[in-house]
């Protein structure tokens, strides 16, 4: 298919590279920061565009991969096109693109960074279209990239994105707090590598509820009290207490 990419960030960079690798034609790239647009366009060997109003109107699919708040503005500036216009956001409804006859969502459930290589074949791609033909076309496109392609409504995707914030963004914040605690005792964060890997593997294999461990899970108040005293500030103590209570609330005493 002939694909036009709007956006130059992490998602746009990974998706465009995967599409090119899968044999699709990238028709061009458009971005807000032209230096970044030129950089990505050079990698893809395509033409950079500085204004979304001047992009070609003959591509099969237009992927809008910009910040959530910018999607509606980008859509409003685009010319009338015959191809499918889809955004890649998790929490933005499909209705944001309603001005186009064929519109949808092409949402990859993954955390992307330009410095990291991602195996796109393992990334779930969540698809929504405003009609059956649009959904089928986006699904066909997604299947050239990933072995895990799923139809998903706007409401389902909103809940999925919320769950992803808890499972990825919030968890990473906890990693950062752990890193700070370790630094105070001159312990490198790398020591946590195998613990993190095993925790994630167990959560994926048997589910997070079944794999929960730790002093709150055991109801070990003496350990929890000692650990509270080790925390450097009141905000972290409140966080520790809140999360511990959430864990305890999930399990009955007989479940220990």
Number of neighbours of residue 82 by Cβ within 10 angstroms: 11
Q: State the Cα–Cα distance between residues 238 and 75, nearest whole angstrom.
A: 43
pLDDT the model gives residue 253: 57
Sequence-distant (6+) residues with CB within 8 A of 106 are 15, 63, 86, 87, 88, 125, 127, 138, 141, 142
User: For tokens 């509606």, what's the residue?
Assistant: 72
Contact by Cβ (8 Å): 63, 43: no
Which residue's structure tokens are 């730790």? 214
Write the CA distances from 51 to 54, 89, 120, 149, 193, integer angstroms.
6, 21, 29, 32, 44
Residue 42 has a pLDDT of: 95
Residue with tokens 């890997």: 197
pLDDT tens by residue, the chain, 256 residues:
999 999 999 999 999 999 999 999 999 999 989 999 999 999 999 999 999 999 999 999 999 999 999 999 999 999 999 999 999 999 999 999 999 999 999 999 999 998 889 999 999 999 999 999 999 999 999 999 999 999 999 999 999 999 999 999 999 999 999 999 999 999 999 999 999 999 999 999 999 999 999 999 999 999 999 999 999 889 999 999 999 999 999 987 555 4
Q: Give dist(CA 26, CA 63) in Å, integer.
A: 11
CB atoms within 10 A of CB 55: 21
User: What residue ranges define each of the domains in the chain, with the CATH number in brackets?
Assistant: 2-152 (3.40.50.720), 157-255 (1.10.1040.20)
Rounded alpha-carbon distances, angstroms, from residue 173 to 96, 168, 170, 180, 199: 30, 9, 5, 11, 16
Measured on CA atoms in the order 78, 84, 89, 93, is the torsion positive or negative?
positive
Residue 18, pLDDT score: 96
Q: According to the model, what pLDDT value does residue 115 have?
A: 86
pLDDT reported for residue 114 = 85
pLDDT given for residue 67 in this prediction: 93
């Amino acid at each position: 298919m002939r694909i036009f990419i709007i956006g130059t960030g992490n998602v746009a960079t990974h998706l465009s590279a995967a599409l090119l690798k899968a044999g699709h034609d990238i028709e061009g790239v458009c971005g807000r920061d032209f230096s970044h647009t030129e950089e990505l366009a050079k990698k893809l060997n395509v033409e950079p565009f500085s204004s979304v109003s001047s992009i070609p109107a003959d591509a099969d699919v237009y992927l809008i991969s910009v910040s959530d708040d910018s999607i509606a503005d980008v859509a409003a500036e685009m010319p009338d096109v015959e191809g499918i216009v889809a955004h890649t956001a998790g929490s933005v409804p499909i209705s944001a693109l309603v001005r186009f006859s064929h519109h949808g969502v092409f949402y990859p459930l993954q955390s992307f960074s330009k410095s990291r290589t991602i195996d796109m074949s393992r990334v779930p791609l969540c698809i929504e279209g405003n009609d059956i033909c649009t959904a089928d076309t986006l699904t066909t496109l997604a299947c050239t990239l990933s072995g895990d392609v799923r139809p998903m409504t706007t409401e389902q995707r909103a809940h999925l994105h919320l769950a992803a914030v808890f499972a990825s963004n919030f968890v990473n914040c906890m990693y950062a707090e752990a890193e700070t605690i370790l630094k105070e005792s001159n312990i490198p964060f790398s020591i946590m590598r195998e613990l993190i890997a095993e925790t994630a593997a167990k959560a994926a294999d048997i589910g997070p509820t079944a794999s929960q461990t730790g002093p709150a899970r055991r109801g070990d108040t003496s350990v929890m009290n000692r650990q509270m005293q080790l925390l450097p500030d009141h905000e972290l103590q409140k966080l520790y207490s809140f999360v511990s209570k959430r864990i305890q609330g999930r399990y009955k005493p007989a479940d220990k």
